[in-house]
A and B are shown apart, each in its own frame.
Chain A
């Protein structure tokens, strides 16, 4: 793991971040009308607030000047104010972060654990019942729109069976202890885990198949080790490598995965904030969400690259 490798990856991350910032800037300007015209379209802004936005974006200045102003403001942590509530977008986003991290964190971990365990067994015994069943299962889940899957779980487990509450973060009456939040969390987490488990399964299975034909596996067998011992101590640890990258990467997609699910279950995180911003055309919030979610992916990519370099020294030479 050389410093040069890390520097190269970090440089690439910075370049990507610059691209995202530029997209974010131009997307809201090359579209019909300037941002203030877009703001006016939502018809909820007082003339004073419009002026404040105009000043903030520096819209009376030439485009290159605006671009520099935008970069400076963004890097100093100023992402504008919400059209709807007039509050600072950064503090709005920050207050919605925790529920999303809770939902996506737990959901991803469950999906990774189940996917890896199934993939390990399926790849080891190809064509077995576990293999075929999981393969068709993940194909079916891949084809299912996540939002609709959530609705089906709602109808079944919250409506017909009444096992879980139908949405929200906690019950309205009580203070909302950990158990209460957990029961509200169960269905959204299940939906998210079902949506993600397939990719972990596929990657782990392919990796296991790859590892299985390696010489050191043959050696382990030749030593007389039992089949489960070879699988657990020799094949699985090496096959895990690509999965670790995938886990890190999916944390980067935290927000993208949460928008539909949080909407269906009224889970008050960043996803629901995004949905509300869509309904009210609250552009500064949408811009902040786009920036934040892209930055998360870039950081996750960087971490995955570095982790991969640490875990597999061969990577560096590529």
Chain B
């Protein structure tokens, strides 16, 4: 253990960051050897590139129902590799634009959900056994019990279908699991000697939580966040299929809903309805594989599962 001189604050923080960098590169080395995790990561990078480049790949006009140029409901051809929808839009273009929308909704909802979940989990765990923990713990348990889809439907129906509201709805219905995991992890960390040491030196609760507990719980939060993205993307798709998606944006779920209500089922327009669902499956699976791999890096005992 390096003896940190309290007089020299800048070198202390330098040491802290050095320690974190070493921790990170160790974690990355372990992750790299996890084949399923790396497979997931590669898939995610591929979809990420498509999402970032989507404005260059597809012009807004070509996915606008009023200015689409293709023959409606055409099966795959050379010009339209995945065929067209009932407005004559290229399904491939819809898919590319949808990548950006679906990933944005998934990531934004995850950031919000993990922020709520981590805050509640840290507070509940740090004050474990006190009244704060009982109130927050009850709240966490209740949100785990409420059927999330029904709550999401009720909220989305009241708030109205905009992208921001969908993000809010998904965040509110998916933070509880993170809170529970972070709480359990915090309960363990707060018993460790360095927390006791910080308290003996007169550190405030706030500084102990942010400077000592949070950095140690952070890897758990990160793994949980990666798993939450998968849940968020599935939730967005489900809400969109139920007609609660933002009608002005093109997500994968919206494309599935349009295809379903546009007669893709009865007329057998498989090229319209199969690809967006497959995209959801790929991305959800990739996030889940990455999340499991991260959990295994953090807790090698899980490797046997």
Chain A residues within CB distance 8 Å of chain B? 15-16, 19-20, 23, 27-28, 31, 38, 126, 139-140, 142-149, 151-152, 154-155, 159-160, 166, 206, 209, 253, 255-256, 259-260, 263-264, 274-275, 277-279, 281, 283, 286-287, 289-290, 293-294, 297-298, 301
Residues 2-59 of B at the A interface (beta carbon under 8 Å): none
Contact A259 B274 (CB under 8 A): no
A sample of 29 cross-chain residue pairs with beta-carbon separation below 8 angstroms, ordered by A number, consists of A19-B142, A23-B151, A27-B154, A27-B155, A31-B159, A139-B288, A143-B284, A143-B285, A143-B288, A145-B234, A145-B237, A145-B238, A145-B253, A145-B256, A147-B237, A148-B237, A148-B276, A151-B277, A256-B150, A259-B150, A259-B242, A260-B241, A264-B241, A275-B243, A278-B242, A286-B153, A290-B151, A293-B150, A298-B145
Contact segment of B75-83, B193-201, B262-270: B262-270
Closest chain-B Cβ to A187's Cβ sits at a distance in Å of: 12
Considering only CB atoms, which chain A residue lies closest to B151 in the complex? A290
B158 at the A/B interface (Cβ < 8 Å)? yes
What B residues does A16 contact at CB under 8 A? 141-142, 145
Contact of A286 among B157, B237, B274 (CB under 8 A): B157
- Nearest residue (CB) in B for A259 is B149
Task: List which B235-258 residues lie within 8 A (CB) of chain A.
Answer: 237-238, 241-244, 253, 256
Q: A159-B265, A283-B157, A287-B154 are in contact. Are A206 and B305 (CB under 8 A)?
A: yes
Q: Are A253 and B256 in contact (CB under 8 A)?
A: no
Contact pick for B238, options A146, A151, A301, CB 8 Å? A146
Interface residues in chain B, defined as those with a beta carbon under 8 Å from any beta carbon in chain A? 138, 141-142, 145-151, 153-155, 157-159, 230, 234, 237-238, 241-244, 253, 256, 260, 265-266, 268, 270, 273-274, 276-277, 280-281, 284-285, 288-289, 304-305
A residues within 8 A CB of B244? 278
Would A20 and B242 be within 8 Å (CB), given that A27-B158, A140-B281 are in contact? Answer: no
User: In the complex the two chains form, what is the Cα distance from A278 to B160 in whole Å?
Assistant: 11
Task: Give the CA-CA distance A128 to B41 in the complex, in Å.
Answer: 26
Q: Are A139 and B265 in contact (CB under 8 A)?
A: no
CB within 8 Å for A253 and B147 given contacts A147-B241, A155-B265, A279-B243 = yes
Residues of B within 8 A of A27 (CB): 154-155, 158
Q: How far is the CB of A163 from chain B (nearest CB, A)?
A: 15
Report the separation of the CA atoms of residues A283 and B154 in the bound assembly, to the nearest whole angstrom. Answer: 8
Query: Given A139-B288, A145-B237, A279-B243, are A155 and B270 neighbors across the interface (CB < 8 Å)?
Result: yes
Report if A155-B268 is in contact (Cβ < 8 Å); known contacts: A16-B142, A147-B256, A148-B237: yes
Q: How far is the CA of A222 from the CA of B109 in the complex (A)?
A: 54
